[in-house]
Amino acid sequence: MRLTIFHRTTYGYDAGVPYGLQQVRLTPKARAGQRIIDWSIEVSGGTKELTFDDEHNNAVDLIRIEPGATELSIICRGEVETPQTDGIIGGHGGYAPLWLFRRQTSLTQVGEGVRGILADLKSDDADISRLHALSALIRDRVDYQVGTSDVETSAEDAIRNKQGVCQDHAHVFIAAARELGYPARYVSGYLKIDDVIDQDATHAWAEAYVDGVGWIGFDISNVISPDERYVRVATGLDYRGAAPISGMRYGSAQEELHVDLRVQTQGQQQQQSQGSTSGPS
């Protein structure tokens, strides 16, 4: 599937920012059949200082906020061709060793909540069936509710609150999968939602490594494995390692965030273009 993506993130500040840096992980991965046809990142109110690959083979742009800026805008646009792989990514790659993905982080620490979910999981299922069952259990225990968590919400917090978003579902799955002995990681990316073009956030899911198969994706929020509607962008041990944008700034300015995101097929884009150029007869 060919997907066209436009993603603008704008930070507005009520006072000039004396100094700030942002790490941007918004370039899709060219792996497992996913092909970048065209991609660009433009910055207004800041300067690209450096581009590098991190330990997870994520492309990272380091952006310095212009001194005194009251607005920073990061615009990503391009076209990506995605395959239908039933969520299978394949063998391990990158600089981080596979064993590292068995290590829990502060966002995936295992407690009473994760252990309670695992207690209800059948132990005699084959690996992939077991992980799909885990995904369904988590979705049943943690209701999808926007605005009920933030970037500091841990897996145990989400289970205790019984609600969260895709980020929280991914953290619970990762914590549980690692507790079962599977290497697991967090994935941030884009999702083409049926009959929807305009969105207000990127998507997140998880991947687990199964011997003999490799990495397999699990979108817990939708209880499926990712298909051609998904664009893989960044991976990490948890959200912090794969966050689309993260950083720091000095000063006391208050921040306001606005996101404009459109994910559409080539056909939808052509229809939209024809509709905007055709006038009344």
Do residues 90 and 13 touch, judged by C-beta distance below 8 A? no
pLDDT at 270 over 70: no
Over residues 217-266, the pLDDT tens digits come to 999 999 999 999 999 999 999 999 999 999 999 999 999 999 999 999 97
Helix ranges (H only) for 76-219 are: 112-119, 127-141, 155-161, 166-179
Q: What is the pLDDT of residue 124?
A: 80
**SS3 call for 148:** coil
Length of the chain: 281
What does the block give as tokens for 67?
């001194």
Over residues 58-92, the pLDDT tens digits come to 999 999 999 999 999 999 999 999 999 999 999 99
What does the block give as tokens for 72?
């920073």
pLDDT above 90 as % of the chain: 88
Tell me which architecture the domain covering 2-277 has in CATH: Roll (3.10)
Bridge partners (DSSP) of residue 234 are 188
User: Would you put residue 238 in left (φ > 0), alpha (ψ -120 to 50) or beta?
Assistant: beta
| Lowest mean pLDDT segment, chosen from 109-118, 168-177, 241-250, 263-272 | 263-272
Burial class (CB in 10 A: 0-12, 13-18, 19+), 180: middle
Q: Which residues of 92-108 are buried (b: 16+ CB within 10 A; e: fewer)?
A: eebebeeeebeebbebb
Q: What is the pLDDT of residue 137?
A: 98
Over residues 21-53, the pLDDT tens digits come to 999 999 999 988 999 999 999 999 999 999 999
pLDDT at 176 over 70: yes
pTM, full prediction? 0.93
Mean pLDDT of 1-15: 97
- Give the integer Cα–Cα distance in Å for 216 and 183: 11
What does the block give as tokens for 58?
């994520």
User: Would you put residue 173 in left (φ > 0), alpha (ψ -120 to 50) or beta?
Assistant: alpha
Q: What is the pLDDT of residue 281?
A: 37
Distances from the Cα of 56 to the Cα of 188, 242, 261, angstroms = 12, 9, 25
Q: Where are the domains of the chain?
A: 2-277
